[in-house]
Structure 1
Amino acid sequence: MSGGRPRTAIGTYGTVSVRCHGRSYIATTRFRDLDGRLRSVAACAASRSAAQARLKARLASRSGYGSGGVLSLASPFGDLVELWLADLDLQELSEGTKKNYRQDLRRQILPAFRHYSLGEVTTGRAEWFLKSEARVSYSRAKHSRTMLNLLFAFALRPDAIPRNPVEGTSPLEKPKNVPHALTLTQIAAIRQAASSWRTGPDVKGPKPDGQVRDILEVLLGTALRIGEALALRPCDVLDLPHGMELQVRGTVVLRTGHGAVRQDHPKTEHSVRRIAVPEFAAEVLRARLLLRNQTDPPRTIFSNKSGDPLSPYSVRRTFREFLLLAGLEDTGITLRWYRRTGATVIARGASTDAAALFLGHGSTAITEGHYIEPDRTVDHRPAFLLERTLRRDASDNALLRAPYSTTEEQALAELDGPEDIGS
């Protein structure tokens, strides 16, 4: 049916009429409530303008005024951000995740949309923004897209916007990710540099305590994330007759005002695991445990002079000095290459599923969680493969020597995926 008066939108009111009633004036209108029904609202005052002002004040305080909530299409983008941040504080997320969200908002999102209202953030403007982010990096564009989706999904709940403008934007084109593992030559060079760093007779200041050198051996033998390695405590190390095992139950994170602190859970739920340790890494951990004060069990194995966990930043800084000493500063090697090396050895020697379980990824979690009774035994095959390939003496280069095939690149790229961002 065409024609007729347009329907009053929910949270709004129709024409205001004012009539004289004795010495007073009564202003009336009809307001459409959240249940969709029109109801009469009135206000009385001594003058026409005062009656209108009092009526509008009553309407503004009425439940549902402004399209059902505190946000509307005319609301500034900054209002949405403030409300979303308040909601973020109530969510059960790690402090590290919340910190990353806040940083992304402050650095990327707010500068681009601060001066828009919600209704002015169209699909075209979101598309332009994401393409400009992609020119910087794929990772940055992906994070920005995630943040915008979270914000506008939040704005949909009170009906502040009719649709999420990000939904119609173009898919982000992910660049090809070729995994890189360390060669035995590179491993030997870094080991030599780590052993000789700041040990000469002309070196001033305190001698290095060897912690970063030993951390590298643990990373090489366990493929742990750096935060997981730094969070290891004596109670997490089980030296059994058939070999050493580690219980991965925490990670080290950086918190504003506190520095490096141990978090009682690792990066993801799949990261809680128990793994076997090759002998070359087990020897390092045994030596470190002998140096510790046994009356302080909660203290992490790798710690500073104050007894706090080592910072991942300080470990990375020292590692870069090792690379410089080894002549590998321009190779792009980072601590993540140790994790990729472990993934490569185990995937080629056993399977990608075995590598995923060892690294703490969730690729087999659905099958195990819903269809198979959990297997509590620890698989010692990965430790055997890592020991045979990466030990200091008589190492076997067979699993690392061959170039990556296309299938291997794809499989290892999956292992080196989103769960390792920031590790």
Structure 2
Amino acid sequence: MAGRDALEPGELGSVAIEQVGPRFRGRARTRDAGGTLRRLSATADTAEEAAIQLRRRADALAFTVNRITANSTVGHLLERWLDEARGRVKHQTHRVYADTIRWLVPMVGALRPTDLDAQRLREVLNVIRTTRSSSAENHARVALKGALALAVEVGVVGFNPLIGLRRNKERRAMPIALNVDQVAALRAAIHRREEQIRHNAGPTAGNLRWAFEVQIGLGLRLGEVLGLRNMDVDFGSGRVSVNGTLVDDVGWQVVRQAELKSRDQARIIQAPRFVLAALAEARAVRDSVTGRLPNAPALQSRAGTWIAPRNLRRAFRELRDDPELVDALEATGIEPRALTHHVLRRTAATLLAKHDGNLRGAQDMLGHSDIRTTRDSYAGEAYRVVGDATVLDEILGDGNAA
């Protein structure tokens, strides 16, 4: 008499996957928690997803849904890591990693942790970088590293191969920044757009212009600009306190987050006169008492609420078709589609660094804790610090042989 299949509860037997029309059907056997042999079937859009569904159903029958075992898939580990990250990271960061796992699971989700050695991980990350972006590669690296750490904790694998895996170092392109003439051309384009919409937009017609002046003058992120409150602007001293930013909450509503990208980036900036003039003009057009309260937005929507950054980004993209602006950008080879709000932040850093002859002022304005971030990603052609060697005049003399 033949014995039972040597399957442990939750363990999958041979998996067979066939294509049925545009979809894929997977079949396998497993044992439930009581030892009964069970047949499983799952249909999905891809063969990988069908295999993942079989794995989940086997786990459910053996009451091991939340357990990590030698049979756990990378997809299961990724989902466990994402669940554990909830509450430990900001919800917008969690949203980024949820999206990362959405496209990462079809790539590697059916594999076991033991399948992900350093060589295979390198191949996976290379494919992600070439087919998606270096940013997507970084997000995938974080997710996979966290998932494999869970496997290490329970002894499924002996070490995390991502810890020692070298990053792909690519030659950084020079950050795009506008010159003074291009800033003037952009200002003019914004003014033209403002005149075109003034009849319908009313007092909020200047929102894009005011936000532009603040961003180009202080080097803020757009969310930081729109997160400024009346109390953050001191017209007497000319200082602007940057201590919050706008984000989308879990329900995709725009809210003010009372901290920046990292907590050590809060800063106070001595503002240029044109920034203070723009903020004063924005305050002057308000006709409600609530709009002038200390906690009210410094830049407001028509309803007196926070302005969604996506709305200004959309308006900013419309400027790329302005013929005069296109001509000004072409002078230095900048493609109109490369013009974003982040270019304004880089422009402020570059112009300040060029004027001061070093990066420290730009670093303080941008709120970077590491000057290398300012140098490598923001300061454009001013990435080299200007040294002062005049002291050698006294040491080495005037150059005469006598």
TM-score of the alignment, normalized to the shorter chain, above 0.5? yes
- Listed as ranges, the matches of 1:208-223 within 5 Å are 209-223=205-219
Q: 1:266 aligns with which of 234, 242, 260?
A: 260
For 1:303, which of 297, 300, 305 is the aligned residue?
300
Identify unmatched segments of 5+ residues in structure 1. 1-51, 54-68, 365-399, 410-423
- Residue 283 of structure 2 is aligned to residue 286 of structure 1: no
The one-letter amino acid paired with 1:306 is: A
Aligned to 1:195: 191
* Secondary structure of the structure 1 residue equivalent to 2:290: coil
- CA distance in 2 between counterparts of 1:213 and 1:406 reads 28
2:370 is equivalent to residue 363 of structure 1: yes
4+ runs of 1 displaced by more than 6 Å?
none
Alignment of 1:129-148 (within 5 A): 129-136=124-131, 137-148=133-144
Which residue among 344, 352, 365 is the counterpart of 1:346? Answer: 352
The code of the aligned residue for 2:279 comes to L
Aligned to 1:128: 123
User: 3-state SS of the aligned residue for 1:281?
Assistant: helix
In structure 2, the partner of 1:333 is 339
Displacement of 1:404 in angstroms is 2.7
Partner of 1:81 in structure 2?
78
Inter-CA distance 192–210: structure 2 relative to 1 (3 Å threshold): same
Distance in 1 of aligned mates of 2:246 and 2:302: 17
Q: SS of the residue aligned with 1:246?
A: strand
1:107-127 CA distance string (max 9 Å, x none): 2x2121121122222322212
Go from structure 1 to structure 2 and tell me whether the alpha carbon gap of 1:90 and 1:183 turns closer, same or farther (over 3 Å shift). Answer: closer
2-structure distance, mates of 1:408, 1:355: 11
Report the equivalent of 1:181. 177
Relative to 1, partners in 2 of residues 1:154 and 1:175: Cα closer, same or farther, differing over 3 Å?
A: farther
| Secondary structure in 2 matching 1:309 | coil
Deviates more, 1:336-345 or 1:302-311: 302-311
Equivalence map 1:246-257=2 (5 Å): 246-257=240-251
Structure 1 residues 166 and 223: CA distance shift in structure 2, 3 A: same
Question: Which residue identity lines up with residue 244 of structure 1 in the other structure?
Answer: G
Distance in 1 between the 2:75 and 2:129 partners?
23
Question: 1:363 deviation in Å?
Answer: 2.5
| Structure 1 position 72, deviation (Å) | 2.4
Bigger shift: residues 229-238 or 137-146: 137-146
1:95 shift after superposition: 1.4
Provide the secondary structure at the position in 2 that maps to 1:327. helix
- Aligned residues of 2:242 and 2:266 also touching (Cα < 8 A): yes
Paired residue type of 2:255: V
User: Within the alignment, does 1:95 sit opposite 2:91 as a pair?
Assistant: yes
Tell me which residue corresponds to 1:156: 152
Identity, in percent, stands at 26
C-alpha separation between the residues in 2 aligned to 1:70 and 1:187? 57
CA distance in 2, matches of 1:239, 1:249: 17
Larger Rg: 1
Q: What is the identity, as a one-letter code, of the residue corresponding to 1:183? A: N
Deviations 1:135-194 (CA, angstroms, capped at 9, x unpaired): 132222222112211221232222232111324545312231312221122111111111
Output aligned runs, 1:373-384, within 5 Å: none
- Tell me, yes or no, if the aligned pair for 1:72 and 1:161 is still in contact at 8 Å: no
Q: Tell me the alpha carbon deviations over residues 31-55 of structure 1, each in whole angstroms, 9 at most, x when there is no partner.
A: xxxxxxxxxxxxxxxxxxxxx97xx
The 1:204–1:346 alpha-carbon spacing in structure 2 relative to 1, beyond 3 Å, is: closer
- CA 1:277–1:258: 2 relative to 1, 3 Å: same
Q: 2:111 aligns with which of 102, 116, 138?
A: 116
Q: Secondary structure at the match of 2:278?
A: helix
8 Å Cα contact 2:194-2:206 kept in structure 1: no
Kindly provide the amino acid, as one letter, of the partner of residue 342 in structure 1.
A
1:81 CA displacement: 2.1
Question: 1:254·1:261 contact (CA, 8 Å) conserved in 2?
Answer: yes
| 1:374 aligned residue | none
Cα distance in structure 2, aligned partners of 1:259 and 1:90:
18
- Following the alignment from structure 1 to structure 2, what is the Cα–Cα distance between the partners of residues 236 and 405? 30
Q: CA deviation at 1:224?
A: 0.7
Point out the more displaced range, 155-164 or 221-230.
Answer: 155-164
Distance in 2 of aligned mates of 1:286 and 1:99 = 36
C-alpha separation between the residues in 1 aligned to 2:325 and 2:209? 17
Which has the larger share of helix? 2
1:48 alignment counterpart: none
The alignment of Structure 1 onto Structure 2 pairs a total of residues equal to: 307
State whether residues 138 and 173 of structure 1, in contact with CA within 8 Å, keep that contact through their aligned partners in structure 2: no
SS at the partner of 2:313? helix
The 1:218/1:153 distance shift into structure 2, 3 A limit, reads same
After TM superposition, the score normalised by the length of structure 1 is: 0.66
1:319: how far off? Answer: 0.9
1:283: how far off?
0.6
One-letter amino acid of the counterpart of residue 404, structure 1: E
- How many Å separate the matches in 2 of 1:191 and 1:165? 51
Contact conserved, 2:290 with 2:296, CA < 8 A, in 1?
A: no
Name the CA distance, whole Å, in 1 between partners of 2:196 and 2:267.
Answer: 41
